[in-house]
Amino acid sequence: MSKPLELLVFGTGAVGSVFGWRTAQNANVKLSAICRSNYEIVKNRGLTFRSNMWGTGSMRPVRVARHSNELSHVKFDYVVCATKNKPQEEHALMRSLEPLLSKDTTLVLIQNGVEIEHPFRRAFPNHTLLSSICFASCSMQGSTVLQPANIRPHGFHVGIHGNGNTSASKDEERLHTLVGLDPKFKAVDNIAAERWAKMAWNGAWNPATALFGLETQDILQHSPAGTSLVRQLAKEVIQVAQVYGVELPPNYEDEIIRMTEVEASIAPSMLQDLRRGQRMEVETICGTICRMADQVGLPHPAMATAYRTLSEMNLACAETPLPARQDKPALNMSQRIRASVGARIGARIGATAPSVGGLGMQQQQPHQIAA
């Protein structure tokens, strides 16, 4: 009998949990998890899944911990980092990952954004580094993870991020071992281009749904202004990608609309965070595009104003107290935050959601380039 494959998921939000669930369906995989807010649920009850792509199922890792040092004695074959991409927490994240990486551990990144691999490569030059993109819409409700829609036939695309001190043959072997764990995992040659393709979708739909407070189908069916904003944001991301040497398909902004029209309604991660009163990944999605556009002098009026507005909404998330009762509808939190920020940004997005369509008309001054 072959040695079990030791796999750790660091961050058991919806996306990390789905990835862990799928790998754990293999009898040869021994799944562990580092959890934050849902530690008690994962440890004591495990998670259940209702998926459009994979059906129903459940997962209970063999080891569950709150902190890395609790599992530092285990020699993991794969450590899957599935946390939110928050630049301000980068150094703390590297310190947390370090005790989990033995000399033969492969690090897998499942995070939003482009060019996210560089800090991990600098920190861990001697490890195979795989980069993965989730093309399945996932959300978590207590101990249940929902996956109602997907924008590609495969749920996870995985590729090699090279430029380390590892051999190409070893990197390839570890990539194909991982994607071989599930038929809906796909190995890709150019992970950077795949990231830009996902960023075009994320950069359009995440800001628009958060600004309007509406899911994708609500925007498509009931808000011409929202649909126009989605298309404009997508165009600006595509233009940035082109300047940085990544050619996406012609009229890809239209494809972003089409691929979303045919799926069940999606609540992108920014809208989910807003509804829960949590800080959104504004820097990773909007801030990155604005800074990269500023570096090359490329106009990006819609994204610039979305970035400024959503940054203020993030501040309102911190300022707006959570409801005392946890059983109140999550949508109430979104409404409270939008009301809180409305007075400060009324001249920019107006008192009602439809006026957000005017975002595309405003130009911003260059943003400071993040260190």
Q: Given its phi and psi angles, is residue 280 left (phi above 0), alpha (psi -120 to 50 degrees) or beta?
A: beta
Cβ-contact 127, 107 below 8 angstroms: yes
Cβ-contact 211, 184 below 8 angstroms: no
- Kindly name the residue from 184, 198, 235, 328 that is annotated as catalytic: 198
Residue 322 to residue 315: CA distance in whole angstroms: 14
Structure tokens at 40: 């008690």
Catalytic (active site) residue 198? yes
- Please, which residues bridge with residue 139 across strands? 146
CA terminus-to-terminus distance, the chain: 49
By annotation, the residues acting in catalysis are 198
